[in-house]
Amino acid sequence: MKTTIIMIRHGQSVANAENRFAGHSDFDLTELGRKQAELGARYYKDKLRPDVICSSDLARAHNTALPFSEVYGLPIIDRQGLRELYAGKWEGLTIEEIAQLYTKDLLTWRDDFSNAKCTGGESTQELYVRVVAEILSIAKEYAGKTVLAATHATPIRALEAYANGYRADEIHKVEFVKNASLNIFEYDSDTDTLRALRTNIVDHLDESLVTSVPKSLK
C-alpha cells in the first residue's frame, strides 16, 4: 500500500526576514510568508487531494497550513515531531550574533553540516532520526492516504536525504528547499521504503516571491 506525503516548508518567517535562527522559537510568518502560503493553497486547490493535513505546532508552519485547511475543509493536526531543529543557545539569535558567540559551532554548520550541532541544542543527525521516525509513523497511521504536512527547512532536508538512501551523516548531500515549497514523497508499506517523487516545487510563486534559507546559513 502506498501513502503520499506532501511536505510543505513554511512561508517566509519573521526570523527568516531578520536573519535569525528560529529553531523552536515561535516566530510567525511575514506578510510575504502568508502570501506564499495563500498562493500555494489557491494554486493547488484542484491539483491535490489531501485526506489529512498535519503541521509542526510552531506558528510559522501551522499558519502555512492554514490556507490549505480552509481550501480543503480539513482540520490541522499539530505534531511536535515535525518541528525544526532545536537550536539551544542559538534560539532567536541573529546569524551575526551566533558567529560572534559560537564561532566554531557555526563553522561546523556551514562546512560540515552532517556533523553539525547547535550549541546546547539538537544535532542534525538527531533531527534526522526524529523526523524520519515521525514521517514513517504518519505514513503508517494514514496508510493509503495523501497527507499534507507543513514543516521546516531542516526536517525536509533530512527526509529527502533518507528518501535518497543517505545516512544521517550524509544529510549534506541534499540542499535546503525554498520557503513554501512542496516536496512530494511516497511511502510503500510493502517494502517499508520512502522515495522522493519531486522536491522544491515553487510553481505557485512568481520568481519575485521566491525566498530561501539565508546564504549565511548555507
Contact 168, 125 (CB under 8 A): yes
> Which of the four pLDDT bands, split at 50, 70 and 90, describes residue 121?
very high
More confident residue, 213 or 126: 126
pLDDT in tens, 153-166: 999 999 999 999 99
Contact 8, 40 (CB under 8 A): yes
Domain ranges of the chain: 2-150+161-217
CATH fourth-level superfamily of 2-150+161-217 = Phosphoglycerate mutase-like (3.40.50.1240)
| Mean pLDDT across the chain | 97
The CA angle 67-1-83, to the nearest 5 degrees, is 40
Give me 159's grid cell: 527526509
Least confident of 1-5, 72-76, 129-133, 211-215: 211-215
- Give the distance from CA 186 to its chain's centroid: 16
Is 49 a residue whose pLDDT tops 80?
Answer: yes
Read off the pTM.
0.96
pLDDT number for residue 214? 78
Active-site annotation, residues: 10, 84
Is 129 a residue whose pLDDT tops 90?
Answer: yes
Is 215 a residue whose pLDDT tops 90?
Answer: no
Rg (CA), the chain: 16
Contact 132, 158 (CB under 8 A): yes
Q: Which residues contact 202 (CB under 8 A, 6 or more apart)?
A: 178, 180, 181, 182, 210
Burial (CB count <10 Å: 0-12, 13-18, 19+), residue 20: buried
Average pLDDT over residues 66-81: 98
> Which of the four pLDDT bands, split at 50, 70 and 90, describes residue 217?
confident
